[in-house]
Structure 1
């Protein structure tokens, strides 16, 4: 893991100016015969995922478009540009969305280069270098699949780039969603077959690709209009999702960490729960997560507190599970001002629920997961890795899938997640299929809020489910107030997808 972080430092320095149509980092075909160079190419792909655009801006956009957050960015008030647009589910063309788009397509371009140049071998090969080439190529397919899945879920029709850029194909028309999903599935299946763990700690294994495939099949199970033409619309996608997820579960490669809060600390990187984790290095200056998402004045300096969770979402969690150990690890509502350069140094800062909701500024708790926990930390950058996929989510997926299949296993998986936090499964034991479904969709929120999947989970069962389970309950909460709460859009066109960024529309003649 230390070596990976050092390589990311090198690659971030060398390739920091790459853009969407970049010549990817290593183009000499002969280089891809050298195992060390192939590893460097792979680290260049992951370095692309840790850039400001692909990481901080991606999470800002995805979380902001979930309907669960509000933000202090561009003004600590209800009417700042982000709150009135993206965070209210009324998206327009903004720089963060454009940055996320460019960041993910840059990672795709680098993955395309590796896929085009790395020779792969029979899956059963025992030759170390051949196994390494397979593993690196598999991870390139996995990253490309993950990036397209991240993009298609919020933009819909998008350009599909699988070849190296040339003077003839530097502009690309929009590809129908079905074809994007076809490519995502194909890439993830190839990745699952090629990834073999040769690259070692800090790199995802084939189980990350299987988890991705399960997520894709779950999406198709509830959205038949997205099913690629090469797949039967009558396929049992819940069964397909189960087959991929249970493979990860039965591998026994992952277990829950005993302490939920430790997942979001520097000390517990690459834990037994981590399935896909981005490696972050302060010296590489490849993450400003702590600066952006540590609550304002929680540490010595460089903290903006851009994510605050809607009060009604916190209330749901606290009401459902009073005393849940996840509450303190997820939300922060009271702390000492540790910034000596601020006017209130040493004072206690309180927001809801530690104080009454009188205005926007004190009306919502901060999201605490991405905070730098060291109050003496003064750097703009930080070292803490960012977890993308973890075992607890896989367990929740299996619980949901099993409930849909009615295979009798759903309690096994949800109980494992609840036990970690000392919670009872009694409400699930008596739940019928519909009630279990609603409860598990909330459980994703309680366990995983802010980790990058909320926008998808809220939309995966369609507009009406999102409207009736999240949007209307928020807009009609008894404690609602226009001077402290966002009014979420109820317009399906606004709510369900982001507009293609203007920078793409203005430079791509093939998109109207």
Structure 2
């Protein structure tokens, strides 16, 4: 069983004059009640309510949010597609498939009409409009309790921040959408990256203050304060706010613990998981990552780990043994390595693994980098060594700020490969994309650090012009 990229039901910004976002929220509720309530184990209301009363019952709001998480997992902007596309765009995975859109990503010949480009854009803004309406509806509700309003609004703010953060790191300047008012958004332009980042941080700080400290399911599948802090630490790192990146990651390091056994890190019960997506128990019992990345036959292979990544593992690194698989064809002519972090295929009867979005190892590496940038060499070494020692490696030999930063960057490569596009975003944010890719990507251009705005959006809304340089 394979999963293709799902076409979104996005309504372009300049066409929203003919549709109120309320109707989409009702659709979210209906879909959530029929198909994905089990995703977060929310008991649905006994009947479908009209749109005016969606926000008068906490169960319907929970269902709408449940479907937001379901859609985030199923449609590229957060799930498997992001890991795959950003992996082949960078230097961690090779692509062997025949899909023309994926191939253009791999060889750096993306155009504004590439469906991968429009899918990321459309899927993200569909959900941003949805959570904006949830925020407004919850605030205006006369039936929800103060605690329910805080919980729901916090989750919606977190999702809005997450989606804007992913979009701004893929596309650069983007529309910052903070209202469901179609009249305001019909002709919206693009907001500079630094202002988008400021808004993301503002959303996350407020989300942390509103969200619950725990996930009522006990499975870390509903985002809470920890998930918002995990994203906030990442945003602070990307925006080079080293002090706040250090202090925010410390909150999580004090709260969670690393798995001591590498083979347990990607199981659904892993103690280091901060937030994860639960598969739909009706149809999808395990992760799409395993189903797409594990090479079972020569003809079925689309992705394999690059020689660049494989050569980055130190000889004694247990991650290569535990998290990398090998496929050799029957005639011995083909031998390929693949991501083997998730090992349970979709055909497994029991859900063994959930798709992890945030885990503690990243927070150690965020704090290590922040401490190194702040001149705290011993603190950075200690954080880095926590990750290295778990992988069976000796303490780092790096002793200066520059060598330590290089060591941390390298550690992020071998620890976070094939997860959520970390490698590409690291290359981009550190200004090292060209140095690492120009020799292996024949079509590499300096303007490749951001993707083009979808051509269809520019045609519908000229205020999004000009197109990104290079496209």
Alignment TM class, shorter chain as reference = 0.7 to 0.9
Distance 1:68 1:28, change over 3 A: same
Alignment partner, residue 230 of structure 1? none
Distance 1:350 1:282 in 2: 39
Residue from 87, 90, 105 that aligns with 1:86: 105
Residue from 71, 86, 91 that aligns with 1:48: 71
Distance 1:283 1:111 in 2: 25
Structure 1 unpaired stretches of 5+ = 1-14, 122-127, 222-236, 338-346, 353-363, 476-485
Q: Is the 8 A contact 1:295 1:304 kept in 2?
A: yes
1:16-52, Cα deviation, whole Å (9 max, x unpaired) = 9742456432383543232222211221221220223
Deviation at 1:437, TM superposition (A): 0.4
Alignment of 1:323 onto 2:333: no
Task: Report matched runs for 1:57-68 at 5 Å.
Answer: 57-68=81-92
Distance 2:118 2:137 in 1: 29
Residue from 112, 137, 154 that aligns with 1:117: 137
Partner of 2:463, secondary structure, is coil
Alignment of 1:69 onto 2:68: no
Distance 2:185 2:215 in 1: 33
Deviation at 1:155, TM superposition (A): 0.5
Alignment partner, residue 261 of structure 1? 263
Alignment partner, residue 31 of structure 1? 54
RMSD: 3.1
Distance 2:283 2:183 in 1: 33
Distance 1:446 1:120 in 2: 47
Partner of 1:316, secondary structure, is coil
Deviation at 1:214, TM superposition (A): 1.9
Deviation at 1:110, TM superposition (A): 1.8
1:73-99, Cα deviation, whole Å (9 max, x unpaired) = 217xxxx6644x322334323212221
Task: Report matched runs for 1:226-375 at 5 Å.
Answer: 237-250=241-254, 252=255, 254-264=256-266, 268-285=267-284, 288-297=288-297, 304-317=300-313, 321-334=314-327, 347=330, 351-352=334-335, 364-370=336-342, 372-373=344-345
Alignment of 1:427 onto 2:403: no
Q: Is the 8 A contact 2:384 2:396 kept in 1?
A: no
Deviation at 1:269, TM superposition (A): 0.8
Aligned residues: 418
Alignment partner, residue 478 of structure 1? none
Residue from 122, 127, 147 that aligns with 1:102: 122
Distance 1:295 1:507 in 2: 41
Q: Is the 8 A contact 2:233 2:363 kept in 1?
A: no
Q: Is the 8 A contact 1:135 1:197 kept in 2?
A: no
Distance 1:247 1:209 in 2: 11
Distance 2:140 2:224 in 1: 17
Deviation at 1:211, TM superposition (A): 2.1
Distance 1:29 1:210, change over 3 A: farther
Deviation at 1:378, TM superposition (A): 8.1
Distance 1:50 1:383 in 2: 17
1:395-435, Cα deviation, whole Å (9 max, x unpaired) = 1111111111123311221122122222111423xx21100
Deviation at 1:199, TM superposition (A): 4.5
Distance 1:81 1:210, change over 3 A: closer
Partner of 1:365, secondary structure, is strand
Deviation at 1:204, TM superposition (A): 2.2
Alignment of 1:403 onto 2:396: no
1:241-275, Cα deviation, whole Å (9 max, x unpaired) = 1121112222x2x11122223333xxx21521111
Distance 1:350 1:191 in 2: 53
Larger CA deviation: 198-207 vs 184-193: 198-207
Alignment of 1:218 onto 2:237: yes
Q: Is the 8 A contact 1:65 1:89 kept in 2?
A: yes
Alignment partner, residue 183 of structure 1? 199
Distance 1:244 1:29, change over 3 A: farther
Alignment partner, residue 459 of structure 1? 428
Distance 1:48 1:144 in 2: 14
Distance 1:217 1:87, change over 3 A: same
Q: Is the 8 A contact 1:275 1:389 kept in 2?
A: yes
Deviation at 1:383, TM superposition (A): 7.3
Partner of 1:499, secondary structure, is coil
Distance 1:16 1:25, change over 3 A: farther
TM-score by length of 2: 0.80
Deviation at 1:131, TM superposition (A): 2.7
Structure 2 unpaired stretches of 5+ = 1-5, 13-20, 27-49, 466-471
Distance 2:365 2:289 in 1: 26
Distance 1:370 1:72, change over 3 A: farther
Partner of 2:341, secondary structure, is coil
Alignment partner, residue 471 of structure 1? 437
